[in-house]
């Protein structure tokens, strides 16, 4: 799941959102988002789902399983 952090950061930056702004919009802590982007933590399935819905992508895309 090493692509997850880079994909998350790219999607967040495309929307011109800070980590804090995104955290408030999807109800995931800012520290979790930072750890995900730095590949320092594995995302919870519930967080993957929230982020996929928010960004309008599939969970597979978000975790780097599809292009």
Average pLDDT over residues 8-16: 98
Token duo for residue 21: 């702004």
pLDDT 10s digits, 19-67: 999 999 999 999 999 999 999 999 999 999 999 999 999 999 999 997 6
**pLDDT reported for residue 2:** 74
CA angle 59, 65, 66 (to 5 degrees): 85
What distance in Å separates the CA atoms of residue 55 and residue 40, rounded to the nearest whole number?
Answer: 22
**pLDDT reported for residue 1:** 66
Which CATH number is associated with domain 3-62? 1.10.260.40
């Amino acid at each position: 799941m090493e692509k997850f952090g880079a994909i998350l950061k790219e999607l967040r930056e495309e929307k011109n959102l800070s980590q804090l702004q995104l955290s408030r919009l999807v109800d995931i802590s800012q520290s979790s988002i930072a750890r995900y982007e730095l590949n320092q933590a594995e995302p919870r399935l519930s967080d993957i789902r929230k982020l996929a819905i928010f960004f309008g992508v599939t969970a597979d895309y978000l975790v780097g399983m599809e292009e």
